[in-house]
C-alpha cells in the first residue's frame, strides 16, 4: 500500500508529464517529492539507530569470577553466580556500594568489623524480595535456598 502523501506526489508527477510546457514545474515537483522521501528515510534510520544504541549501550562488561562461594557463617557457604548478577542488575554499585570490587573484600571488611555479614545478606535478600514484589524473576529469599551446609 502506498501512503497518501507518496500517492499525491506520484499523481502530481503524472500530471506534469502530460503538459510539456510546464516541464520546469515538473522537475521541481519531483525534486520536492524526492527530498520529502529522503527526509522520511533518514528519520526512520535515525530512530532505529537510537533505539538500537539504547539497548546496546546498557550492556555492561562482565568482570571478575564467574562463580564465587561466600562464607555464610554457621548456616553454611553461599554459592554466588557473580556474572549472572552483573548481567541482570546492570549496575555493579547495587552490590558494591557496601564493599569494593576486589577479591576477598567482604571477608576483610567483616574481620575489620567495618562490615557486618548480615548487611551483605540483607542487601541480597531485600533485592530478591523487591524483584518478587514487582513480578520479576528473582533469586532465593529463604535461608536454606542460599546457604548450603557441608
**What does the pLDDT look like over 89-113, one tens digit per residue?**
888 888 899 999 888 899 999 999 9
- Residue in the structure block whose three cell numbers are 533485592: 127
Tell me if residue 133 falls in helix, strand or coil: helix
**Contacts (Cβ under 8 Å, ≥6 apart) of 45:** none
- Dihedral angle, C-alpha 121, 123, 128, 132, nearest 10 °: 130
pTM: 0.57
Q: What distance in Å separates the CA atoms of residue 5 and residue 61, rounded to the nearest whole number?
A: 46
Determine the pLDDT at residue 32: 83
Determine the pLDDT at residue 48: 78
Q: Which fold has domain 68-146?
A: Cytochrome C3 (3.90.10)
CB half-sphere exposure, 32, CA atoms < 13 A: 12
For the chain of 150 residues, list the mean pLDDT of each consecutive stretch of 10: 51 56 67 84 82 56 83 91 88 89 90 91 94 92 89
Determine the pLDDT at residue 88: 87
Q: What distance in Å separates the CA atoms of residue 56 and residue 131, rounded to the nearest whole number?
A: 23
- Residue in the structure block whose three cell numbers are 522521501: 37
Amino acid at each position: 500500500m502506498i501512503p497518501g502523501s507518496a500517492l499525491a506526489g506520484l499523481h502530481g508527477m503524472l500530471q506534469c508529464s502530460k503538459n510539456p510546457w510546464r516541464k520546469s514545474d515538473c522537475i521541481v515537483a519531483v525534486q520536492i517529492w524526492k527530498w520529502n522521501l529522503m527526509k522520511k528515510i533518514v528519520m526512520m534510520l535515525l530512530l532505529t539507530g537510537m533505539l538500537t544504541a539504547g539497548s546496546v549501550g546498557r550492556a555492561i562488561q562482565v568482570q571478575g569470577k564467574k562463580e564465587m562461594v561466600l562464607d555464610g557463617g554457621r548456616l553454611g557457604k553461599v554459592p554466588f553466580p557473580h556474572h549472572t548478577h552483573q548481567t541482570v542488575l546492570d549496575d555493579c554499585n547495587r552490590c558494591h556500594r557496601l564493599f569494593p570490587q576486589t577479591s576477598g573484600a567482604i571477608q576483610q571488611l567483616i574481620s575489620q568489623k567495618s562490615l557486618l555479614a548480615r548487611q551483605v545478606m540483607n542487601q541480597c535478600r531485600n533485592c530478591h524480595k523487591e524483584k518478587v514484589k514487582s513480578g520479576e524473576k528473582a533469586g532465593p529469599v529463604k535461608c536454606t535456598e542460599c546457604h548450603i551446609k557441608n
